[in-house]
Structure 1
Amino acid sequence: MTDFTQRLARLAQNPEALKGIGRGLEREALRITPTGHLAQTPHPDALGSALTHRWITTDFAESLLEFITPVNTSVNGMLDELQDIHRFTYKQMGDEQLWPMSMPCVVASEDDITLAQYGSSNIGRMKTLYRQGLKHRYGSVMQVISGVHFNISLPETFWQHLYHTESVTQAQVTQGYFDLIRNYYRHGWMIPYLFGASPALCGTFIKHAQTRLPFEYLPSGTCYLPYATSLRLSDLGYTNNAQAELRIGFNTLEQYLEGLRSAIRTPSHEFAKLGIRDGDSYRQLNTNVLQIENELYAPIRPKRNAKSGEKPTEALDRAGVEYIEVRSLDVNPYSPVGIEQDQIHFLDLFVSWCALSPSDPMTDAELNCWRENWNKIVIEGRKPGLLLTTGCDGHQRTQAEWGLHVMAELKQLAAVMDRAVGDNRYETVCDKMMACFDNPELTLSGRLLADIIAQGGIGNVGLGLASAHKTALSGDDYRIHSDAEFLQEAAASLARQKDVEASDTLSFEAFLKDYFKDVPMAESW
């Protein structure tokens, strides 16, 4: 197999092939009151329809906003888009603020969390019912954990150089993305190590979670683990114990689709106890391990933009992988928009390296090995001398040794990528990240935990940052859009929602039966 050095040398002959990386961001954020409690108000009317708005929607709850940028080949352009979306949203929120962290703020009761509402259309009702199922399966508090999703597609010229051909097929691109995904599982623990930002929790969260983790407590009630990086990605976060038994492989598209479709069709004895209906009301979409594809927990996903009415698996099956979605990023509390430029540059570099590096097929045993490494990192990733397993042969290295080994190759790739963009942004971010392996306290989680301890708790830090972020963005001018454009999109989204509702021809029950016609649970309707 061609090794990384050979592939990089070939790419270095034409660094222009790295131009044209497509990127998009999805940032989740809870609306909170000035005292740090979960907002009880509905989705602001001025933000339009959460069902059909292009840039502003909701995730699990009415109070959990999700901001979506269009695809952009410019990092600065993408961040400007995201900042503008935040600016407009802040103007519509009154005295409410956005909680700047992944783990939720004060949640006194599950009853404080209202499921996201999407109108009276069949698809809108199904989206809320799916969330009803998540509530019954895992609890609402676990569902208001926030993250940042980074979508990235590598240009066709990159794949041409990788495969050493002037004409690349979609099948080759799709396989290249799956090779990338396997390498991300192998080495992606570096992302929560560097950018994890949830080493501590509000004490009210622990009341809703079952855990045996040896937390330490501050007088304010904040609990933390001294070396944790991303408790959001731990068993405390959104995980599904039933999914631990799933065998979803990433060697080929066919293997991935077969595993995912099996999970959607596999009955769960645990979820069957909940039932589908309670009198006239619904409790969940079905009683399978996954209600729909989106319920699968994964740090990275292959994606394809779906046509109207098309399921994610159907889109992938139709036309292969279009881009990948990195889902292992915590919200960066120090950034008003939840992510910083350096993080994006590092992700550009890391994802490209995952694609360039050789990637052998992966067994279930190897995948479990990588998952164990991830678990160690999120719970105690900054612990000096922490040992990770580098393969099924049982060989181990410290996180610092392994990280610096990968960083050495990333530095080589950074030089080529800098030639493509005409500056030194990638080598600069490499130097910053290498320092984090020499000193774990320079990581995002290290910095944040130090501030939390110094300021007496997560609430003090979170409220201070929330106020500062709102002030910073509310006072800035728009970079790309305008109030008029956002108001126009809000009005247009409401009109689109009405059109969707008016176009329904089936009852909700008939709609669900048709949607799940290929799923064994369908006859239970």
Structure 2
Amino acid sequence: MKKFLTTTNIRGLLTPEELLSGNFGFEKEGLRIDQQGNLSITPHPDVFGNKLKNPYITTDFSESQVEIVTPTFNSLKEAYQCLTFLVDIVNTAIPNDQYIWNQSLPCILPDKYMIPLAEYEGKKGEESRDYRINLAKKYGTKKQMISGIHYNFSIDEKTIQKLYSNYEKEDISYKNFKNEIYLKITRNYLRLKWLIIYLTGATPSAHKTFTKECIDLMKNFDGIDSFYSKEGVSFRNSSIGYKNLLALYPRYDNIRNFINDVKSFIEEGNLSEAKELYTQIRLKPKDPTQYLESLLETGILYLEVRSIDINPFDKCGISLVDAEFVHLFLIYLLLKEESEYEKWQSEGVYNEEIIAEQAFNPDIFLLKDGENIKIKEWANEILNEIEELDNIFELKKENIIEIMRERVNNPKKTYSKQLVDIIENKGFIASQTSIAIHNKETSFESIDLETIRNNEKLLDYYTHSLPKIRL
């Protein structure tokens, strides 16, 4: 097959609207806390009904960990508006003395044995609980309390079909062509994910009740009960984050090799099942319950980006500007020519952890195809290439690119640096609890029942999120 999808060979083929077209969705995790910032260990609120049947609001690992899942939209703005509405529903529906911790690293945690595993009904529920019991034994319950934002993305099918029509003379099926689109994005993402971690990282601090290995990486004490780092941006994505015990590098050159490698990880005992492979970006099939079989049969349906810390400065956990940049970044990854450096996966993990733990250390370097390079130099190089893409295809995203460039060239603009300033003044727990309480207040101000009754979409989200309430 000729050189696969570059700016040069699709220039003039797609309109700006076609290149930007896609399907978007979000998943947001958040811990329920009390007014002092302690984890609430009460059961998942009954108002949300059966966790397995509620399409929008469920739990993740723990009864204390609410998970919001939006439907898929062909507009990023619509997906974000839905996430906003579901966040408001959760904030107003949980008990009055509870709040949602809007941080990726956890609040004040009880003893590890007191953290309640999520409870589910029926045979499927038993399987889910058994899976969580095994995860707790393997990784520890405290690490399971790390939360995040998952960003789901696929390219519009009509755009893929138009790209494929330009390749019909090549010996490749449509399914494999579509797989290669997502595999190329994935490979480039795993090479360059460090930039997203730098731009969206917001976990420089942890409470003393979190894991010792995390606390040991943080050199500063907030004077109350928490620790923080002035050099790191995202300890959620650091060497002590929620990762597989062994570094696992499946092949991403084609789906069959990826599947065979994951199967071998399971056979060797490194994974209990396919979904235990914790990667910064995940290939998602049509049927997640039959993950590997579905990938082989119907191919990749969409990608799930998993590197993004919860943004405590936004009630939704992610800003619309950041969401728009991630979209632009994924398009860039599709069109960017790939490096042939053989150790790209291990180098990607090295860069990920260096950025997470030492992004603001002026003496550190990243590795680019085995050679040292300064963070600002490489970041600006990538942003320049994205800017060139923006100009060529007239995407009109220059304002978003400029915001990211400011974060690169002036670290004080990053979420992590802003958080450190707040933590040094107010402490980690007090400042983040204050944010959670404020978010709940603003949600009550935002929810208008009359508007919901007169809006079919909002009414659907409301009634399915809160099945025991009727407006």
Shared fold (TM-score greater than 0.5)?
yes
In the TM superposition, 1:411-490 aligns within 5 A as 411-415=387-391, 419=395, 424=396, 426-455=397-426, 457-477=427-447, 481-482=457-458, 486-488=462-464, 490=466
Which residue pairs with 1:27 in the alignment? 28
2:305 is paired with a residue of what secondary structure? strand
2:400 is paired with a residue of what secondary structure? helix
Per-residue CA distance 1:415-468 (angstroms, 9 max, x = gap) = 46664xxxx4x211101001111112211112112221122x111210111111
| C-alpha displacement of 1:118 | 0.7
Per-residue CA distance 1:233-269 (angstroms, 9 max, x = gap) = 113221232x32x341212111111111111121xxx
**Structure 2 contact 201–234 (Cα < 8 Å) conserved:** yes
In the TM superposition, 1:117-196 aligns within 5 A as 117-119=119-121, 121-160=122-161, 162=163, 165=166, 169-196=174-201
**Structure 2 contact 151–306 (Cα < 8 Å) conserved:** yes
Of 371, 388, 392, the match for 1:395: 371
**Structure 2 contact 286–300 (Cα < 8 Å) conserved:** no
Which residue pairs with 1:74 in the alignment? 75
Q: Distance in 1 between matches of 2:174 and 2:312?
A: 41
1:312 is paired with a residue of what secondary structure? helix
Name the CA shift for 1:47/1:382 in 2 (closer, same or farther; >3 Å): same
Q: Distance in 1 between matches of 2:371 and 2:431?
A: 40
2:51 is paired with a residue of what secondary structure? coil
Of 257, 270, 279, the match for 1:289: 270
Which residue pairs with 2:304 in the alignment? 325
Q: Does 1:304 align with 2:285?
A: yes
**Structure 2 contact 286–298 (Cα < 8 Å) conserved:** no
In the TM superposition, 1:20-99 aligns within 5 A as 20-94=21-95, 95-99=97-101
Q: Which amino acid aligns with 2:46?
A: D
Per-residue CA distance 1:480-500 (angstroms, 9 max, x = gap) = 65467533554499xxxxxxx
Q: Distance in 2 between matches of 1:217 and 1:441?
A: 20
Name the CA shift for 1:258/1:100 in 2 (closer, same or farther; >3 Å): same
Per-residue CA distance 1:75-100 (angstroms, 9 max, x = gap) = 22111211221222222212200001
Of 389, 398, 406, the match for 2:382: 406
| C-alpha displacement of 1:211 | 6.5
Q: Distance in 1 between matches of 2:162 and 2:40?
A: 50
| C-alpha displacement of 1:159 | 3.2
**Structure 2 contact 57–465 (Cα < 8 Å) conserved:** no
Which residue pairs with 2:357 in the alignment? 379
Unaligned runs of 5+ in 1: 267-287, 494-525
Which residue pairs with 1:346 in the alignment? 325
Task: Supply the RMSD in Å over aligned alpha carbons.
Answer: 2.3
Q: Distance in 1 between matches of 2:207 and 2:394?
A: 41
Q: Distance in 1 between matches of 2:468 and 2:300?
A: 30
In the TM superposition, 1:231-246 aligns within 5 A as 231-241=235-245, 243-244=246-247, 246=248
Q: Distance in 1 between matches of 2:265 and 2:408?
A: 38
1:23 is paired with a residue of what secondary structure? strand
Q: Which amino acid aligns with 1:313?
A: L
Of 333, 341, 344, the match for 1:366: 344
Unaligned runs of 5+ in 2: none
Name the CA shift for 1:323/1:401 in 2 (closer, same or farther; >3 Å): same
**Structure 2 contact 89–447 (Cα < 8 Å) conserved:** no
Per-residue CA distance 1:470-512 (angstroms, 9 max, x = gap) = 111121136765467533554499xxxxxxxxxxxxxxxxxxx
Q: Distance in 2 between matches of 1:366 and 1:210?
A: 26
Q: Distance in 2 between matches of 1:443 and 1:414?
A: 23
Bigger shift: 1-10 or 152-161? Answer: 1-10
Q: Distance in 1 between matches of 2:308 and 2:325?
A: 12
